[in-house]
Structures are given as structure tokens and as C-alpha cells.
């Protein structure tokens, strides 16, 4: 929601400028009122459109500000065959997760499914390399499971617990 406010403020300034041009032009009163109504309609429609877009995944090719991201954690995914691959990504250095849409590609979908299974088996995170790269070079899979986290080191100075038999038991 952080990008919505400045974008809407810019839309309001532009619509107000158009409305002011219409009001100060040497036209009849009906034309001036019409220009103001159109400016207010533009503001309302623009705000509604931006709110609607907040709930939809962004096509990965439209990501310009974060296009240089090297890696991201895949929090969730959904695939619609022959349509798109939907990803919920946590980008490194970005506070909130974001939804993206990749164009459908069977090979990418298979790599994603394989890596997701491996991550689930290892109980580790699923990562994605170069999430916004537009290259056709697909030598390395874009998705991979992080290695299983190492177990904490054993304390070698503490001896194992001694089992002391209780008097009167069969042990």
C-alpha cells in the first residue's frame, strides 16, 4: 500500500490540472462544469483501479524497481496450465511479500514442483534465482531448496546421563 498514496496524489494533481484548464478556458459554464465532473470522475476511477490492482499478481515482466533482485524466497505458488505460474515471493531487502505472475512454461513449472517437493522433504525454504531476469538462458534451474539446516553442535564436555537402577525394581 506504500506506493498507492504517491501514485494517487500524482493522479489527483494531473486531474486537477486538467480541471483547472477546463475551468479557466473561455468556454460556456456547462463546459466548465463538465470538465470539473470529468476530473473528479478520473480521480475516483483511478483510485478504484489502483485498489483493485493491489489484490492481483503483478506480471514479473512489469517489475522495474526491483528488477535487479538476485534471489527471493518462494512463500507459495499456484499453476494454471497453459496460462500462468503464480508466485508469492519474499524478496531480499523488501519488508512485505509480493505476488507475481510468470508466463506459463512447462519446464519452469516442473523445476518449481521438483524444488518444492525437495524443500518440503528437507523442511527448508524454497528459493528462486533471478526472479525477474528476461533471459532465455535456462541452463540452471531457477528454483531450488535450501540445504537442510545443520543440527546444533553436541556438547562433548557433558557425559551422557547415567541410568541408576531403583532398588526393588527388576531393572
Sequential DSSP letters for 110-141: HHHHHHHHHHHHHT--EEEESTT------SS-
| Predicted model pTM | 0.66
> What is the rounded distance in angstroms from the CA atom of residue 84 to the CA atom of residue 73?
19
80 secondary structure, DSSP code: E
> What is the rounded distance in angstroms from the CA atom of residue 111 to the CA atom of residue 104?
12
pLDDT level of residue 136 (50, 70, 90 thresholds): low
Q: Cell triple for residue 167?
A: 532398588
pLDDT in tens, 64-110: 888 888 889 999 999 999 999 999 999 988 888 999 999 998 999 99
Averaged pLDDT, 127-132: 88
Averaged pLDDT, 134-152: 73
H or E segment at 88?
strand 84-91
> What is the rounded distance in angstroms from the CA atom of residue 163 to the CA atom of residue 171?
10
Higher pLDDT, 90 or 8: 90
Q: Average pLDDT, whole number, for the chain?
A: 83
pLDDT of 5 higher than 80: no
Q: Cell triple for residue 24?
A: 479557466
Q: Residue 141 in contact with residue 108, Cβ under 8 Å?
A: no
What are the φ/ψ torsions at residue 128 (nearest 5 degrees)? -135, 130
What is the β-pairing status of strands 84-91 and 143-145? unpaired
Averaged pLDDT, 124-138: 80
Which of 26-40, 66-80, 125-139 has the least mean pLDDT? Answer: 125-139
Which of 33-42, 58-67, 87-96, 137-146 has the least mean pLDDT? Answer: 137-146
What are the φ/ψ torsions at residue 115 (nearest 5 degrees)? -65, -35
Amino acid at each position: 500500500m506504500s506506493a498507492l498514496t504517491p501514485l494517487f496524489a500524482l493522479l489527483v494533481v494531473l486531474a486537477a490540472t486538467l480541471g483547472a484548464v477546463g475551468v479557466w478556458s473561455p468556454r460556456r459554464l456547462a463546459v466548465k462544469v463538465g470538465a470539473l465532473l470529468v476530473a473528479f470522475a478520473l480521480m475516483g476511477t483511478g483510485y478504484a483501479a489502483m485498489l483493485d490492482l493491489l489484490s492481483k499478481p503483478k506480471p514479473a515482466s512489469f517489475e522495474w524497481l526491483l528488477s535487479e533482485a538476485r534471489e527471493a524466497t518462494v512463500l507459495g505458488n499456484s499453476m494454471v496450465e497453459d496460462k500462468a505460474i503464480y508466485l508469492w515471493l519474499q524478496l531480499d531487502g523488501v519488508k512485505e511479500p509480493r505476488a507475481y505472475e510468470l508466463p506459463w512454461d512447462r519446464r519452469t513449472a516442473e523445476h518449481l514442483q521438483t524444488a518444492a517437493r525437495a524443500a518440503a522433504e528437507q523442511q527448508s525454504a524454497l528459493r528462486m534465482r533471478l526472479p525477474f531476469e528476461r533471459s532465455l538462458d535456462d541452463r540452471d534451474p531457477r528454483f531450488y531448496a535450501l540445504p537442510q539446516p545443520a543440527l546444533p553442535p553436541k556438547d562433548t564436555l557433558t557425559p551422557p546421563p547415567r541410568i541408576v537402577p531403583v532398588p526393588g525394581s527388576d531393572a
